[in-house]
Structure 1
Amino acid sequence: MTVHPLQQLRRGKSIFRRLVGKPAREFYLYLPTTLQENATIIVAVHGISMNAAEHMVKLRQLAEDKGAVIIAPYFSKRRYPRYQQLEDPKTGKRADLALIEIVESVCTQFGLKRQKFTLIGYSGGAQFAHRFAFYHADRVMACISCAAGWYTYPNFQETYPLGLSPNTGPAGMSVHPDWRNVRHHVIVGSIDTAIEPSLNMKPEIVAQQGTGRLERAQRWVEAMNNVVITEVGLPVEYSEIAGMGHDFTDAYDNFRVDRIISQSTVFKK
């Protein structure tokens, strides 16, 4: 493999990059010290606090342990106000396509093999992650959703984003036919039950999913397993962390969510 000069310079370091052109596609990147052409690619998606850099920093050890490249896209509130749903219904801006272009660019620039990647999302980022996995299953090996505010259900009678009714997804998309083959792991705190101003409390969501993030995670895992265990035998892994609430820094610093992620079955071949 021919080594790109930037690979040699930037291994073991964090980089902020911006793709040329519009719409804006910005991201943080971490290349492991030992970088192989077939390196695992992990995409870490922030919540509404927009802390993409912190996501990249917290996952650097995971990158080193697994020889993985970390890509942490930055979806600004101004440019991608509804990134959690992949497409902004008002402007038509597609956060999902922005991510695809970012990953393609990184693979091209650093000589990486194009392969399915693993998505890790926290809060609003978890909303983005599991929805991306539904509609772009051909690009996703696994999806780890940490403390999502609410979910899209594997219900083909409900329109998106509540369900997966055909032709109601981003830009009129239908769910990818391979969506059942994506490995999922849901992580949530046992006391992540608060009803905060940012939590979607629309009546139809409460009726379908419950109130706090803990209940919503439990219900979604049950709904998914009712489908995927029967059809493909890939149960959704579920981790409920005792005493953990809803704080990204606390989750990683004190509850070591990164270790739970590192040991997840989604990384097993």
Structure 2
Amino acid sequence: MTAAPATVEAPESDAAARGHAMYDLESTPVIACKYDPRFSYCLYVPPTLGQGEEPSIVVTMHGTGRGFVGYRDGFAEFARWNNCIILAPLFPIGVRGDGNRDGFKYMREGDIRYDQVLIEMVAEVVAHYGLKSDKFALFGYSGGGHFAHRFLMFHPQRLWACTVGAPGSVTLLDPTRDFWVGTRNVEELFGLEIDPAAIAKVPVQMIVGAADLETWEITHKEGGRNWMPDANHAGKNRPERLAALKTSFEEHGIAVRFDLVPNMPHDGPKALPRVQDFLAGVLQARRAKAA
């Protein structure tokens, strides 16, 4: 990319140039999603945008605590030195007025399809910055790890990498059980088919702390909002459940880098160095192949 994209205001005056630098580059303000303004996002855009190779997109998906700005900022240095745009979505609690903290994790909530909302957010960024590629890497930790592995299953063709961090519950590639525990009725619920061969083309990392052993938030109980038969069958804690997901993937020919981090509790920011090491390696290989 060699010129300022037409969709971003050209810096023809001092005021326009200052506005472009303040609101379109580096750490941006929070932006309402045009597709559905109930949802929003912020970005980190490298200040070298337009001066060389097109940047790659990395989506950082928040967890239940909605610390989306923190993850954006945690990836800012990585983005600057690896020429990436960071997109950090915000899917608020209780968007339908019912206080539901978990809707985005399971991809649908009433008439909301969270996978489609993210796809539209990425499309807005691609259009605004005049990018040619709409493929992106997806990182999610805790509640974001829920979202990340299910998005990977649904839309592998949209991803150049995926990191699944410490989800409380997992969807196994199991055609004998219904969603969300398995994948038997995904086509009926979502209108799409699970394609393990396509998933296998995406570099996948799974990461969890070896000390991430608390179960109070992740043990499903009958009568709960997300209860269904076999809701706890993948394991009793996060390391066990993520290991079950890894096994499920590998049984379908999908390679996984599995990081069980010694002495790490449930702490997303502490996972970032290993996540960024993984993504930097994938980026290097991807760019070398393209060259």
TM-score range, shorter chain: 0.7 to 0.9
List alignment gaps of at least 5 residues for structure 2.
Answer: 10-18, 222-226, 287-291
Q: Deviations over 1:56-106 (max 9, x none)?
A: 111111111211000011001122741011111xx2211111111110001
Native 8 Å contact 1:86 1:94 kept in 2: yes
Q: Write the letter of the residue equivalent to 1:65.
A: W
2:245 is aligned with 1:244: no
Correspondence for 1:13: 27
Native 8 Å contact 2:170 2:245 kept in 1: yes
2:272 is aligned with 1:258: yes
Correspondence for 1:123: 142
Correspondence for 2:105: 84
2:112 is aligned with 1:93: yes
Q: From 47, 63, 72, give the equivalent of 2:88.
A: 72
- 1:21 to 1:43, Cα distance in 2 relative to 1, 3 A: closer
- 1:11 to 1:167, Cα distance in 2 relative to 1, 3 A: closer
Report the Cα distance in structure 2 between the residues aligned to 1:195 and 1:13, rounded to whole angstroms: 35
Q: From 211, 222, 234, give the equivalent of 2:236.
A: 211
Correspondence for 2:249: 224
Correspondence for 1:232: none
1:166 Cα deviation from its structure 2 partner: 4.9
Q: Could you tell me the TM-score, scaled by structure 2's length?
A: 0.80
Q: Is the partner of 1:24 in helix, strand or coil?
A: coil
Q: Deviations over 1:160-204 (max 9, x none)?
A: 211222544653432256223222100100110111235446561
CA RMSD of aligned residues (A): 2.2
Q: Is the partner of 1:219 in helix, strand or coil?
A: helix
Runs of at least 4 residues of structure 1 off by over 4 A? 6-9, 166-170
Q: From 204, 212, 217, give the equivalent of 1:192.
A: 212
Alignment of 1:161-200 (within 5 A): 161-168=180-187, 170-176=189-195, 178-200=198-220
Report the Cα distance in structure 2 between the residues aligned to 1:160 and 1:266, rounded to whole angstroms: 30
Q: Is the partner of 2:31 in helix, strand or coil?
A: strand
Alignment of 1:37-56 (within 5 A): 38-56=54-72
Worse overlay, 197-206 or 20-29? 197-206
- 1:167 to 1:204, Cα distance in 2 relative to 1, 3 A: closer
Report the Cα distance in structure 2 between the residues aligned to 1:63 and 1:259, rounded to whole angstroms: 13
Correspondence for 2:12: none
- Asked which structure has the greater CA Rg, the reply is 2
Q: Could you tell me the TM-score, scaled by structure 1's length?
A: 0.86
List alignment gaps of at least 5 residues for structure 1.
Answer: 230-234
Q: Is the partner of 1:126 in helix, strand or coil?
A: helix
Correspondence for 1:139: 158
Native 8 Å contact 1:15 1:30 kept in 2: no
Correspondence for 2:15: none
Report the Cα distance in structure 2 between the residues aligned to 1:35 and 1:228, rounded to whole angstroms: 38
Report the Cα distance in structure 2 between the residues aligned to 1:205 and 1:141, rounded to whole angstroms: 30
Q: Is the partner of 2:133 in helix, strand or coil?
A: coil
